[in-house]
Amino acid sequence: MEHYKTLQVFQKFPSSGVFHINLNRPSQRNALSRDFFPEFSIALQSLDQNPNASVIVLSGTGDHFCSGIDIKTLNSFANDTGDRGRSGERLRRDIKYLQEAITAIERCRKPVIAAIKGACIGGGIDIVTACDIRYCSKDAFFSVKEVDMGLTADLGTLQRLPGIVGFGNAMELALTGRRFSGQEAKELGLVSRVFGSKEELDEGVKIIAEGIAAKSPLAVTGTKAVLLRSRDSSVEQGLDYVATWNSSMLVSDDLMEAVSAHLQKRKPTFSKL
């Protein structure tokens, strides 16, 4: 397993197929340093290629999920000097580089589940809106904070949040930067469920993640890929894409095993991907 400065990557139960990525700067409330972005991409790519990994759970070490981008990281962008055109071009390249690290969640074939406790602010919203499923504890709170920092959010929140909570709600949250609770996040559709405590969140997400990991990996990765493609396409284009996908993936050992297990009233067993 790789060693990271800003992350912990581990598997609690070797037979489960569930791997964990923890944002690991608890003394800074898991603020995102410059090192986080390349490390996060590498960790996701590594688990994407790991046949033992079926589902990834993303959470934060300590009391908070993520307090946003580290102020030092922001200052490093603000202090660029020299020719304005070249400085602007470098900054655009830097922003695209950071964006790619967040989009790596969607590029990862394996489902990524966000388990959110405490603060989820700014860059934390960028991260969770790219995740496939989101859960939180009742102490969680959220804020699209960039407007209060004199910034336009640029790592994915303004692109992904409207599709999750609706355009009007996303506009209101992004323009006000107001703090909202886990319960409101549930009402908006940002999270699928609110758990009563951190312990209940951990146990609940464990059960859900292990349930997904026990399913056909071809079916799970295909469902994620088709849903993401359909989100950015018309219904007709999405239907055409899934027809093409299933024309190559449908007839598999997984289908035969699922049917046999159903008829024999037993749990199916699938090969690794």
Q: What is the residue type of 4?
A: Y
Answer yes or no: are the C-beta atoms of 144 and 173 closer than 8 Å: yes
Residue with token string 């692109």: 159
Query: Does the active-site annotation cover 123?
Result: yes
Query: Does the active-site annotation cover 238?
Result: no
Query: Does the active-site annotation cover 126?
Result: yes
Catalytic: which of 94, 100, 154, 184? 154
Structure tokens at 88: 């602007």
- What is d(CA 6, CA 190) in angstroms, rounded to the nearest whole number? 25
Indicate the pairing of strand 55-60 with strand 7-10.
unpaired
- In sequence order, what DSSP letters do the residues of 14-77 get, joined into one string? TTS-EEEEEE--GGGTT-B-TTHHHHHHHHHHHHHT-TT--EEEEEESTT-SB--B-HHHHHHH
Query: Does the active-site annotation cover 83?
Result: no
Catalytic: which of 106, 126, 132, 139? 126
Answer yes or no: are the C-beta atoms of 32 and 66 closer than 8 Å: yes
Catalytic: which of 123, 156, 182, 222? 123
State the CB neighbour count (10 A cutoff) for residue 191: 26
Bridge partners for 113 per DSSP: 57, 133
The dihedral of CA 64, 61, 103, 108: what is its sign? negative
Catalytic: which of 56, 69, 116, 208? 69
User: Which residues lie below 8 Å from residue 187, measured CB to CB, with a gap of 6+?
Assistant: none
**In terms of C-beta density within 10 A (0-12 exposed, 13-18 middle, 19 or more buried), how is residue 28 classed?**
middle
Query: Does the active-site annotation cover 204?
Result: no
Answer yes or no: are the C-beta atoms of 48 and 108 closer than 8 Å: yes
Question: Hey, which residues are catalytic here?
Answer: 69, 123, 126, 146, 154
